[in-house]
């Protein structure tokens, strides 16, 4: 035994997972190797493989951990359209942390195996949760389209940084997004909801 | 003079542009070099640079040529919601040709200079055209959100191949998408429009 305190298995595992999360989110699945992740975590590549089995399995654990911190979609269908709309367009557009899961997906989309892992995780963490939440029939179809819109706003706002999105008044964008989400959520408009003018006139 | 017929400048230029279009769409800006594009077109890298100036300028010409073939968004605001909705969810999901422009954007999104070129081209070819087309105020905001939704459906359908999208009845998806687009387009629903059941009851 040496004097240097030996990290226990749990903290080593957590350190590797944290390093992998940062690396995969920044560079995508193909853009990073186990060796680089190991170096960031201060361990050997062999240790990473002993703990996680492979780069693919490590990626799958990162996806699980990231998607489990699901914060965008709440649990109340009555306020879902408004809440998701507001969450999507507020906060700084250059703040990558809030769209970690999206960037992880987007930057790994060139690797077929990574896409399979992501597809499965999105299905379990987002699609099913949302479909269970929505009242009425065809909830799966409506949930899928809500997720499409969420992904699209994140893409145009955070990745492309479209000036038509980043330069617009977030309250105006949120109002229209809420109006667009409402037929997908399937709840009629709550009394007192403020909507942009030309939506109220419909 | 040799017996071999010499290609003229226009056809050489067109051959380089076609090879660059295929290469950039498949591999993204960072994933392909001028040398590789030159080889595909049967010319030297020096000739590519003589015709286009640089990889960056070649990429910009590819983006222009691709986005100019805009087919998804028509010119009639009265049918825009329905037309875009239908176009987005019909056709084979694994048919990449129909989403060339989107894949070109997505696969080059890791390069900051490519993103600038794409952002500018999207603004000129799609955002302004759509904003000019939409009746009523806040047309820029509504156009931006329509483009977000278009990008999101293309991402989830063609890149992620989400089973909730690819496995759904396209007519059902199109009905809900149309309902979601309507408050963004700003036209009230036309008489006789068939909408999914729980949308009609709103």
Distance from CA of B37 to the nearest CA of A (A): 20
Say whether pLDDT at B199 is over 90.
no
* Closest Cβ opposite residue A122 in set B115, B160, B177: B160
Q: What percent of chain A has pLDDT over 90?
A: 76
* Closest Cβ opposite residue B160 in set A28, A119, A138: A119
Interface test with A, best of B198, B199, B200, B201 (most A CBs within 10 A): B198
**Nearest chain B alpha carbon to A159:** B109
Mean pLDDT of chain B: 88
Say whether pLDDT at B1 is over 50.
no
> What pLDDT is stored for residue A187 in this prediction?
66
Q: For the packed helices B55-68 and B34-41, what is the interaxial angle rounded to 10 degrees? A: 60
Say whether pLDDT at B122 is over 70.
yes
CB pairs under 8 A between A and B: 183
Identify the band that residue A141 occupies on the pLDDT scale cut at 50, 70 and 90: very high
The C-alpha angle B126, B127, B132, rounded to 5 degrees, equals 100
> What pLDDT is stored for residue A108 in this prediction?
94
Lowest-pLDDT range of B5-9, B11-15, B111-115, B171-175? B5-9
d(CA B45, CA B71): 33
Say whether pLDDT at A191 is over 90.
no
Contacts of A160 in chain B (CB under 8 A): 105, 109, 115, 118-119, 122
> What pLDDT is stored for residue B180 in this prediction?
97
Q: Per residue in B128-157, pLDDT tens?
A: 999 999 999 999 999 999 999 999 999 999
Q: Taking residues A85-108, what's their average pLDDT?
A: 83
> What pLDDT is stored for residue B48 in this prediction?
97
Say whether pLDDT at B44 is over 90.
yes
The C-alpha angle A135, B151, A197, rounded to 5 degrees, equals 65
Residues A26-56 as b or e (16 or more Cβ within 10 Å = b): eebbebbebeebbebbebeeebbeebbeebe
Q: Per residue in B94-119, pLDDT tens?
A: 666 668 899 999 999 989 999 999 99
d(CA A157, CA A168): 11
Residues in chain A: 202
pTM: 0.87
Answer yes or no: are the C-beta atoms of A85 and A174 closer than 8 Å. Answer: yes
Contact B152 A157 (CB under 8 A): no
> What pLDDT is stored for residue A201 in this prediction?
34
d(CA A42, CA A36): 10
> What pLDDT is stored for residue A97 in this prediction?
63
Q: For the packed helices B100-107 and B9-27, what is the interaxial angle rounded to 10 degrees? A: 70
Contact A180 B177 (CB under 8 A): no
Contact A163 B123 (CB under 8 A): yes
Q: Taking residues A23-31, what's their average pLDDT?
A: 94
Q: Per residue in A103-113, pLDDT tens?
A: 999 999 989 99
> What pLDDT is stored for residue A192 in this prediction?
35
Which residues, at least 6 apart from B177, have a Cβ–Cβ distance to it below 8 Å?
A: A145, B84, B85, B88, B89, B149, B153
Identify the band that residue A5 occupies on the pLDDT scale cut at 50, 70 and 90: low
Interface test with B, best of A198, A200, A201 (most B CBs within 10 A): A198
The Cβ of residue A84 has, within 10 Å, a number of other Cβ atoms equal to 24
Q: Per residue in A53-68, pLDDT tens?
A: 999 999 999 999 999 8
* Closest Cβ opposite residue A119 in set B152, B161, B176: B161
Q: Is B167 left (phi over 0), alpha (psi -120 to 50) or beta?
A: alpha
> What pLDDT is stored for residue B37 in this prediction?
98
- Complex ipTM more than 0.90, yes or no: no
Q: Taking residues A171-200, what's their average pLDDT?
A: 71
Contact B202 A181 (CB under 8 A): no
d(CA A69, CA A187): 26
Contact B147 A169 (CB under 8 A): no
d(CA A178, CA A85): 5
Q: Taking residues A128-147, what's their average pLDDT?
A: 96
């Amino acid at each position: 035994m040496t004097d240097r305190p030996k990290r226990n298995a749990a903290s080593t595992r957590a350190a590797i997972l944290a390093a992998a999360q940062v690396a995969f989110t920044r560079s995508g699945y193909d853009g990073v190797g186990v060796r680089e992740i190991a170096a960031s975590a201060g361990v050997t590549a062999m240790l990473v493989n002993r703990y996680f089995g492979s780069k693919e399995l490590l990626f799958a654990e990162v996806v699980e951990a990231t998607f489990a911190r699901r914060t965008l979609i709440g649990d109340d269908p009555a306020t879902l359209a408004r809440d998701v709309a507001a969450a999507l367009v507020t906060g700084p557009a250059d703040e990558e942390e809030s769209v970690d899961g999206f960037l992880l997906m987007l930057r790994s989309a060139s690797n077929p195996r990574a896409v399979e892992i992501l597809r499965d995780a999105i299905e379990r963490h987002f699609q099913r949760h949302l479909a269970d939440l929505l009242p009425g029939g065809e909830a799966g179809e409506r949930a899928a389209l809500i997720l499409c819109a969420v992904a699209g706003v994140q893409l145009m706002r955070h990745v492309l940084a479209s000036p038509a999105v980043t330069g617009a008044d977030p309250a105006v964008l949120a109002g229209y997004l809420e109006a667009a989400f409402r037929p997908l959520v399937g709840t009629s408009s709550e009394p007192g909801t403020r909507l942009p003018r030309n939506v109220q006139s419909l």
